[in-house]
A and B are shown apart, each in its own frame.
Chain A
Amino acid sequence: MRARKTHRQLEWSLTATLALVAPLGGCYTGVGDGAGASAGDAGEAGEAGEAGDAGDAGDAGEDGGPANELPAPTTRLYRLTHSQWENTIQDLFYLPEPTGLSADFRTDPSIGGFVFDNNAATLEVDQVLWQSYQRAAVQVAEMITADPSLLAAIAPPDAGDANARAQQFVAEMGVRAYRRPLTTPETDELVALFDAAPALYEGVDPFTAGVRLAIETVLQSPHFLYRIETSTETSGDVIPLGDYEVAARLSYFLWNSMPDGELFDAAADASLGDADAIEDQARRMLVDIRSRAVVEHFHDQVFEVERFQNAAPSAAFYPDAPENLGDLATEEHRRFIEDVVFERAGGVSDLLTSNETFVNDEVARIYGLEGTYGAEFEKATLDPAQRSGILTQLGFLVANSTTANPDPIHRGVFVAKRLACMNIAAPPDGVPPLPPSEGRSNRQAVEDHTEQPGTSCVGCHSTIINPFGFPFENYDVVGAWRLDDNGMAVDATSTIALDGNEIAVTNAVDLAQALAASPTVHACYMQHWIEFAFGRPLAEEDEAFTTRVGEESTSGNMPVVDLLIEIVTSNAFRNRATQELP
């Protein structure tokens, strides 16, 4: 059984190529025994279980991705996130809008080292959350059964046979709530609730009482609260997922909700064992507006959009800075993402190099745009000599600034870690503060402070952090273009180490172009999507896939939508690993 690399060791294998060209000078990359307690850190395999509800058998590689791209061991229990719970309830009961009940759910804890909020192995049901689920189930059941139109949407008509009606309701509701057909015992136990229910709800007619109790029960069932994968039958190097399991993976990845009728029909027809059929469904789903919220949520987390609200330009130095700078940056960012991904069928290169964005009057002023702009956001074209993609937009720049100066250190760390997936360990404790500039430019002050020979700082700062950060010196604290820094000309030149090469850049526009042409950056973007799609840290098994698709994305500027198609048609998405987590 081959040893599994940890997330950190995988990143090391990417950055190790840099050592061939650029002296890392002892930059600590944090290689250790593991990236914390996560489902991604598996040891020896356990025994295979009984055969489950497997789909069409087929070796990995015959249909879908190359044979060397195998699924990584993962959890079998994917608890619904709170937003998934909310969306699922809305779709399950055909509600016109979300119930909002998940606002009372306690927030899931953040897990160190994982970018996204859906690390499946750590989504738990503790006592507090269970109580919230219980209360919500009661409220939803009461709401549905108290409204004739909502009840009619899920209940079969009364044909005079109460038992048959109950059976039909359970069968129809059950497959949608559990996201698979019910077993006979499951059906029987839910139908039995219709016998007990009338005594439990005073003044409610028997069928309605039965529906109400069934809804309360189903919404507290682990088969509703978790997406459970039970397939165990091995086929070659993989365990093919059942059709309903594939349908659920598809819908919760692309829509953050349960499958719709068409997807359920495809599962019932056993047609989701075929990669082409999955692609057809996925393309249909990516046209649906629900996928836009998912793409937005992904990029919000990758680019740390919530940190845009940290923008706090000093009133002394930036008296004209908008008070709602964070909100403006967020609006621009989200509109840009949606436009690139869905309207322009753009890819990673477009995200990094497009000089088209969205502005209102205040944002236009920061960008120095001529013309008249109103309070509403509209599309605009920025000076290509000054702006190139998301890294030269307001959000990244303002979130990584102090109140008075640009912050090349944090800008550089973000680019290196989040866009190139380089592993940079945290600085040591007790770092002395950056002294006042005293006649120096911001760059000079940072260089003097962090690149002194023989210090613990020079290794990381001179080779990775500062080279990635200094090109952004042309953008001040509010993201505006500048050529002057403390009376001196801004120097935004740099030499970065990327893909085993040293690349000289003159400024951030140049840097963005270099990043857009980098297989490492494209692969890194894919890594983030992998982690988001599967709800787990990157695993060794993902390396072949991310490298291949990263290269294809680099050479062909693969649209983001097509990247998502690659994921859902991959061996990893359609199958489980034969090796279970320990």
Chain B
Amino acid sequence: MKMHRRQVLRGIGGATVALPFLEAFSPRKAKAGSEIVPPYAIFFRQANGVACVQDTELGAEPERFWPSAQGALTAETVAGRALEELGTYLDRLLVVGGVNMEDFNYADGHARGALQLLTARGPTVEGVGGDSEAAGESIDHRIGRELNLDGRESLFLFAGMDGWLGGPCITYRDAGQRRAAIRDPKQGYMGMMGIDATQFEALAARQQSVNDLVRGQMTSLLASPELSAADRQRLDLHFTSIRDLENSLSCNFTVEQQMLIDGMSPGYESDDGDAVLEAVKAHMHVAALAVACGYTRSVTIQVSSGNDGSTRYRNFDSGELMENFHFLSHRRASHDASGSIIENSDLLHHHVDRHFAQTFAYLLDRLAEYDLPDGSNLLDCGVSVWCNDNGNGPGHSSRNCPFVIAGGASGFLRQGQFLHLGDELTHARVLNTIGSAAGLRNAQGGNIDDFGDPSLPRTVVDELLA
């Protein structure tokens, strides 16, 4: 059941329009239970696989990502691994190994990974490599479509440069219908922010006049018999996007938070990894606010293009910017296997993994800042998923693609564990599990098992459930 959150807050004497968000969620003032925050899903995407144990044409590489043993996640099992950066949250993580994507004929490892990552679908046209599009809706869009109030779409946030696969490429409204992303963190926030109470009435009245007239025009256009199905679909999307101004309550940052985000945002189109990840962190502030105030049940944050072929992350040891991440993943100074060998590039790939782990930890920190009156924490109310297009670098493997899940969705998923469930675990099943954790249900009220390509196993993974 969709919770009309504003009614709940008003019913408990909640915030007025202008109240800063943190006040509204102060455990000393909010009186509602954790039903205020329904389960959500935040997806955080990394490209190019991780630095894990493998044999390459340059030799054997050691394990630097996955925990050293299955079972309970401990400081010992993640020592020396990228997951070490999440040490504070080990008891709230579920690290899933052995997740295998399908070898659909995308004719490109990056397209196969990035476009399948949240869709569990093959291409609309096979064998076209970088010109590929996914043949189905992505899980984040489905969560937003089915669970968000008033048909609001899920948030799709992007930082980094465009490039292979055109930049934002992991979220789909439907087959071949790639969604646009918000790049400037301030834009994401501007869409949510409330309006000062002293102005609201006048602004709302004006917009009502505008919307009434425009809706009438849209209705007339939609009645045109000449419109193609595609044109009608586009007009429908536009029509449903028209919103009356809402007296949105607690979707406001404080002035200080807003200034913080402004300061973090400028590098959202940079090739400097530090600047890009700062912008990503700004996105994470927005993401946390968005799920906390019920603006959306789903947020996706994509870092850089289909092969992250422009971003240069910083070497932790030397402090220098490294070659772009895609070069590192190939272990060579080229976007394929033709370039000169980059020395110690498996270690450098590990450095990038650590950057992403730190950034994921930043998201968890933001979520963990929100304590709810019943003693629960926003982080635990949903699932935050750090996922990757590929299993490893040079091979762009479709197998063993990392899924690091934090939060547990109020006890839906197991936590504190590293599970490797054999060699046959399909990624489609993991997405159905995450979707169910975020609140998707079938017609009978049970967990979903219909997301992704119908040819794939799609049942929820029982071993991941609490």
Contacts and interface: CB of A to CB of B under 8 A. Distances in A.
B127 A200 contact: no
Given A30-B127, A37-B175, A113-B131, A49 B187 contact: no
A39 B233 CA distance: 12
Interface in A171-225: 189-190, 193, 196, 199-202, 213, 216-217, 220-223
Contacts of A76: 224, 226-228, 231
Contacts of A232: 226
Given A37-B124, A112-B166, A429 B112 contact: yes
A403 B339 contact: yes
B130 A426 contact: yes
Contacts of A130: 238, 241-243
B5 interface: no
B363 to A, nearest CB: 21
Q: Which of A32, A125, A190 has the most CB of B within 10 A?
A: A125
8 contacts: A35-B125, A110-B165, A111-B178, A126-B237, A131-B191, A201-B202, A222-B238, A306-B162
B153 A217 contact: no
A428 interface: yes
A403 to B, nearest CB: 4
Contact of B108 (A46, A134, A199, A429): A429
B19 interface: no
Contacts of A453: none
Given A106-B182, A131-B243, A213-B209, A77 B235 contact: yes
A39 B230 CA distance: 8
B234 interface: yes
Interface string B88-130: 0000000000000001000111001000000000001111111
Nearest to B112: A429
Q: Which of B127, B213, B338, B396 has the most CB of A within 10 A?
A: B338
B263 to A, nearest CB: 18
Given A46-B225, A220-B214, A431-B336, 4 more contacts: A123-B234, A128-B182, A402-B334, A426-B130
A507 B310 CA distance: 32
A510 B362 CA distance: 57
B465 interface: no
B176 A36 contact: yes
B206 A200 contact: yes
B190 interface: yes
Contacts of B332: 433
A465 to B, nearest CB: 13
Contacts of B234: 77, 79, 121, 123-125
B243 A127 contact: yes
A552 to B, nearest CB: 30
Given A34-B125, A37-B124, A189-B213, A126 B228 contact: no
B57 A402 contact: no
Contacts of A228: 221
B84 interface: no
Contacts, number: 227
B229 A582 contact: yes
Contact of B183 (A34, A106, A127): A106
A124 B238 CA distance: 7
Interface string B277-290: 00000000000000
A48 interface: yes
A200 B202 contact: yes
B106 to A, nearest CB: 8
Q: Which of A47, A112, A124, A129 has the most CB of B within 10 A?
A: A112
Contacts of B167: 107, 109-110
A312 to B, nearest CB: 8
A109 B210 CA distance: 28
Interface residues of B, number: 77
A32 B221 CA distance: 35
B237 A434 contact: no
Contacts of B209: 193, 196, 200, 213, 217
A344 B428 CA distance: 58
A434 B228 contact: no
B166 A134 contact: no
Contacts of A153: none
Interface of B: 57, 103, 107-109, 112, 124-133, 152-153, 162, 165-169, 175-184, 187, 190-191, 202, 205-207, 209-210, 213-214, 216-218, 221, 224-231, 234-235, 237-238, 241-243, 309-310, 330, 332-334, 336-340, 395-396
A33 B205 CA distance: 51
B176 A402 contact: no
Nearest to A442: B338
A242 to B, nearest CB: 14
Given A431-B337, A581-B230, A36 B124 contact: yes
A425 B128 contact: yes
A32 B333 contact: no
Contact of A127 (B152, B213, B330): B152
A582 B228 CA distance: 5
A404 interface: yes
B396 A36 contact: no
A112 B131 contact: yes
A107 B180 contact: yes
A202 B202 CA distance: 9
Q: Which of A122, A128, A312, A431 has the most CB of B within 10 A?
A: A128
B111 to A, nearest CB: 8
A75 B231 CA distance: 7
Given A425-B107, A426-B108, A36 B133 contact: yes
Interface string A296-339: 00000000001000101010000000000000000000000000
A75 B210 contact: no
B339 A217 contact: no
Q: Which of B112, B225, B230 has the most CB of A within 10 A?
A: B230
A406 to B, nearest CB: 10
Contacts of A157: none
A28 interface: yes
A134 B339 contact: no
A124 B337 contact: no
Contacts of A448: none
A69 interface: no
Given A39-B228, A200-B206, A200-B209, A217 B181 contact: no
A580 interface: yes
A10 to B, nearest CB: 15
A405 interface: yes
Given A49-B224, A222-B235, A428 B107 contact: yes
A379 interface: no
A232 B224 CA distance: 11
Contacts of B180: 106-109, 124, 126, 128-129
A222 B231 CA distance: 13
A427 B107 contact: yes
The 7 closest A-B pairs by CB, nearest first: A433-B337, A426-B129, A110-B166, A37-B176, A581-B228, A426-B107, A49-B226
A148 B364 CA distance: 51
A199 to B, nearest CB: 8
A407 interface: yes
A312 B229 CA distance: 46
A193 B214 CA distance: 12
B207 A134 contact: yes
